[in-house]
Amino acid sequence: MSNTLSVVIPVFFNEGSLCDLFSSLQTVEERLRDWGMDMELVFVDDGSGDESLQELLRIKEKRPATKVVKLTRNFGAVKASKSGFRFITGDCFTVLAADLQDPPELILQMIEKWKSGSMFTVCVRAKRSDPMKKKIFSKMYYWMIRRIVASDYPRGGFDLFLLDSKMLPHFVASSKAMYTPILAWWLGVKPEIIFYDRLERKHGSSRWTFRKRLAAFFDVILGFSTAPLRVATTIGALVAFLSFFYSFLVVVSAVLGKMPVPGFATIVSLMSFLSGIVILMLGLIGEYISRIFDEVNQRPDAVIEKVY
């Protein structure tokens, strides 16, 4: 009985790259057949507003075994991937971006690692052909990940990975805001690492806006670590100590008759500073509570309109 690789591909405004992507995947599938493996393709249309769904249906006409899942609207790449996980049946699985910046040929290298016994393989970016602003943000982002979430996380980060199907239940049952690559690393399975150069995007423009990147950053930091709460507690304790110390000095000065005339600027500065600290901490606690609320309100991760 042959093994099967399942490939989940979230699609969002990718009509220009889907034809080339499918051609590359057909080449990968031919190689897998030579190795005695089958490939299961699951495309998830994440509420695209272009002709992506029509392109996907053309792909299905050429390859009837392909599964196309259409969501009612845009829920985000992570939730789209999670929707696709519900339809895979393979012995191992991966998530592939539809923009062709991660070469599909890397799948073959990951399969070689899997056939050699590796349950977890990641493709780490050695170089990336992205704008300077995006590179700077990525470096800061992964630096924070290594400092707060996982000290051994790859410096270049990764999106493309392959896991044995034994790990699939952890992804299906994960929380709504759980970032897939971080979860894969957090599971603790020792990974095999493949380094590659991330390609320049040739089709369309990225919909991964700064607002979405910032939201993903907060989801990762607050979803995998309580370090921000501990930092807030430390700052609160330090501010409280300094406030008590200042109050002690004021009392001592009053007892000794050296109490100066209180200044309006000093009072306003202290009140503004302390109020700002309190509001900041309340906001941080609110971020955690909002995520708890999102988990317990029983809303679905994503809504599937139709499965082709």
Structure token pair of residue 151: 């000290």
Q: What is the pTM of this model?
A: 0.79
pLDDT digits (tens, 9 = 90+) for 195-208: 988 877 676 666 66
Domain residues for 161? 3-208+301-307
163, 193: one domain: yes
Q: Is the pLDDT reported for residue 239 higher than 80?
A: no
Measure CA of the first residue to CA of the last residue in the chain; give whole Å.
Answer: 26
Domain count along the chain: 2
* Confidence at residue 268, expressed as pLDDT on a 0 to 100 scale: 58
pLDDT digits (tens, 9 = 90+) for 80-118: 999 999 999 999 999 999 988 889 999 999 999 999 999
Find the Cα–Cα–Cα–Cα dihedral 172, 87, 208, 215, rounded to 10°. -20
Greater model confidence, 286 or 209: 286
CA 272 – CA 90 distance, rounded (Å): 58
How large is the average pLDDT for residues 263-277?
67
18, 140: one domain: yes
Q: Is the pLDDT reported for residue 151 higher than 80?
A: yes
* Confidence at residue 280, expressed as pLDDT on a 0 to 100 scale: 76
Tell me if 184 is assigned to some domain. Answer: yes
* Confidence at residue 262, expressed as pLDDT on a 0 to 100 scale: 59
Tell me if 213 is assigned to some domain. Answer: no
| Number of C-beta neighbours around residue 292 at 10 A | 10
CA 254 – CA 195 distance, rounded (Å): 67
Letter string b/e over residues 71-88, b meaning 16 or more CB atoms within 10 A of that residue's CB: beebbbbbbbbbbbbbbb
Q: Is the pLDDT reported for residue 303 higher than 70?
A: yes
CA distances from 181 to 13, 63, 89, 129, 222 (A): 22, 29, 20, 20, 15
Tell me if 199 is assigned to some domain. Answer: yes
CATH number of domain containing 56: 3.90.550.10
177, 98: one domain: yes
82, 191: one domain: yes
112, 187: one domain: yes
75, 130: one domain: yes
Q: Is the pLDDT reported for residue 269 higher than 90?
A: no
Beta strand ranges found along 46-87 (DSSP E): 67-71
147, 67: one domain: yes
